[in-house]
Amino acid sequence: MTRGWTTQAVEALTSGQQTPDHANRGMGWEATLRRQHERYREQGIARMDKLPTPIKRLRNAPGEAGKAGQFVAVYESPSGADFLGVLRGGRAVVLEAKRTEDLTWWSPGHVELTQARHLLDVADLGGVAGVLLLWAAHGVATWLPARPVGLAAKAVPPDWCERCADERRLLPGNVAEQIGRELSAGERARLGVPGIPRVRLDLLRAAGLCVEVGRDGVDWIGVAVGRSGGEA
């Protein structure tokens, strides 16, 4: 555990909600990142903006709610990564925020196909792109580059993001939806699902891809840029 963090302490840090609901915890992690990104903006390091999920407005909400501007809507199309921005000097950067309750490993199957494609496209065009994964029980986050280079390749399968995208694209029926959880070898064989590479926290630490999560944010750009070439 880092600095004596407990799971409860990190929950309090990263979530403004008291409910254990998974979506709310994810929103809390994004809120932590938004605080850090505002600090980057003030310091002239980077400008990062949250990308909204496209929606289609169907109708106004009934009664007073509609008069107050509320409406009924549906998600119109899958979204890309969570944050898009630019570093000082003009280099593009794209970030997908994820979190895990697990203690030792994480499956890239949690990255959606559209998110993986977004990360790969930006990385291949020379930008900084990856997943910032919060390990809630440890109080650390790890940078997972879309195209691992150098030491990162020892901890992250070199093609992890591409494999994730390919596996989701090739899966039959609704099997892709089941990849949100790690399938056993027997389940994978039964469903015809290819194996998904895991990333391990101990290897990420050894490769220098970890950064502490503090009460005011998480300073991730130095690690991300250092593993992608160039300077922050």
Residue 36's domain comprises 2-51+73-226
Domain assignment present for residue 90? The answer is yes
- Rounded CA-CA distance 151/146 in Å is 14
Q: Which of 134, 144, 142, 139 is nearest to 100 (CA)?
A: 134
Question: What is the pLDDT at residue 150?
Answer: 75
**Has residue 212 been placed in a domain?**
yes
Q: Which of 142, 140, 155, 144 is nearest to 1 (CA)?
A: 140
Domain membership of residue 61 (yes or no) is no
The whole-number mean pLDDT for each consecutive block of 10 residues of the chain, a chain of 232 residues, reads: 37 41 62 94 96 68 68 65 95 96 88 90 95 95 90 84 81 65 68 74 93 90 80 54
Tell whether 41 is covered by a domain.
yes
Q: What residue type is assigned to position 228 of the chain?
A: S
Structure tokens at 200: 């391990």
Q: Which of 173, 155, 129, 146 is nearest to 210 (CA)?
A: 155
What per-residue confidence (pLDDT) applies to 11? 44
Look up residue 12 and give its two tokens: 């309090």
The structural domain count of the chain equals 1
Specify if 148 maps to a domain.
yes
Q: Decide if 63 is inside a domain.
A: no
Closest CA to 48 of 14, 81, 87: 87
> What is the distance between the alpha carbons of residues 204 and 154, in angstroms, rounded to a whole number?
8
CA distance linking residue 163 with residue 196, whole number of Å: 8
| Domain assignment present for 136 | yes
- Write down the pLDDT at residue 142: 96
How many other C-beta atoms lie within 10 A of the C-beta of residue 105?
14
pTM, two decimals, is: 0.76
**What pLDDT does residue 53 have?**
67
pLDDT at 209: 94
Q: What is the pLDDT of residue 173?
A: 64
Domain of 182, CATH number, reads 3.40.1350.10
Asked if the structure places residue 62 within a domain, the reply is no
